[in-house]
Amino acid sequence: MNTPAVKSAERVIRIFECFRDKQHGLSAKEISDQLRLPGSSTFVLLRSMVHIGYLHFDPTTREYYPTLLVTELGSWIPTFAYGLNDPRMLIETIRDATGETVTLSVQNNLSMQILDTAIGTQMIVLNIRTGDKLPLLISNIGRVSLSLRSDDEIAKLLKRAGGGALGGEPPPDIDSLMSEIAHIRKRGYGVGYDSVIAGLGAIAWPIDTNHPARTLVIALAGPTDRIRNNEKTIVNKVKAILKKHAPRR
């Protein structure tokens, strides 16, 4: 479906994503160039967004800014859907305590999608963007998310993946997958070294939201050697932080 209404809706979302990435005021030309949209169409969309109150236009600088109405659109989601009051503060707290890049992700079909990222402060860090996806069944964060699902649900997902839903990638062996998930359930977190990206180590924790389809995963990642050498210290620090930020029940 590619009707004018659908195309306009997609462009509005892309405009908000542009502000999210740039994090400062933008002119109509900057937005048009960034999103490769016709100038006239961009101007009409921006004017409409100003009219309904979701953008502010500064006539002096000729720049547009999102208003607080934008934040109110999703302000209820972290608490009511996931049980977290301030997920951004949570991942930044873990980042500051460890120096490593920290992500917040959620399952999206057969992938794990990054919802937010706090880039590490070390000399060498993982750079991953909001919106990026990792495979559900073979990534550490994916298996941590699956650890809160039943064995039957996992088997069904694996069967779907076997039908070509992984985009050509072969699904993992059921026995090895369930063995790893059993370890995650026992420890309460998952550890992966060089599993998806060579030289990358990651530790991930599930955030139980009482709704398996909305299970969040907090993950910390960096060079394999550094994460492995500091694994025990990292786990203890993050465990203490998560205890203070337990989801609402």
Query: Using one digit for the tens of pLDDT, what is the confidence trace for 18-73?
Result: 998 888 999 999 999 988 988 898 999 999 999 999 999 988 889 999 998 888 78
pLDDT of residue 74: 76
SS3 of 51, please?
A: helix
Query: Using one digit for the tens of pLDDT, what is the confidence trace for 117-135?
Result: 999 998 888 888 878 888 8
**What is the rounded average pLDDT of the residues 149-162?**
87
CATH 1.10.10.10 in the chain is located at 4-72
| Cα distance between residue 93 and residue 87, in whole Å | 10
CATH 3.30.450.40 in the chain is located at 77-244
pLDDT of residue 50: 92
| Cα distance between residue 59 and residue 152, in whole Å | 59
Q: Which residue has the higher pLDDT, 245 or 202?
A: 202
Yes or no: domain 4-72 corresponds to CATH 2.60.40.1120: no
Look at domain 77-244 and name its CATH class.
alpha beta
pLDDT of residue 249: 46
Q: Which of 179, 113, 111, 116 is nearest to 147 (CA)?
A: 179
What dihedral angle (degrees, nearest 10) is formed by the CA atoms of 13, 16, 28, 9? 20
In DSSP notation, 201-245 reads EEEEEEE--S-GGG-EEEEEEEEHHHHHHTHHHHHHHHHHHHHHT
Task: Identify whether the C-beta of residue 145 lies closer than 8 Å to the C-beta of residue 217.
Answer: yes
Percent of the chain with pLDDT over 70: 88
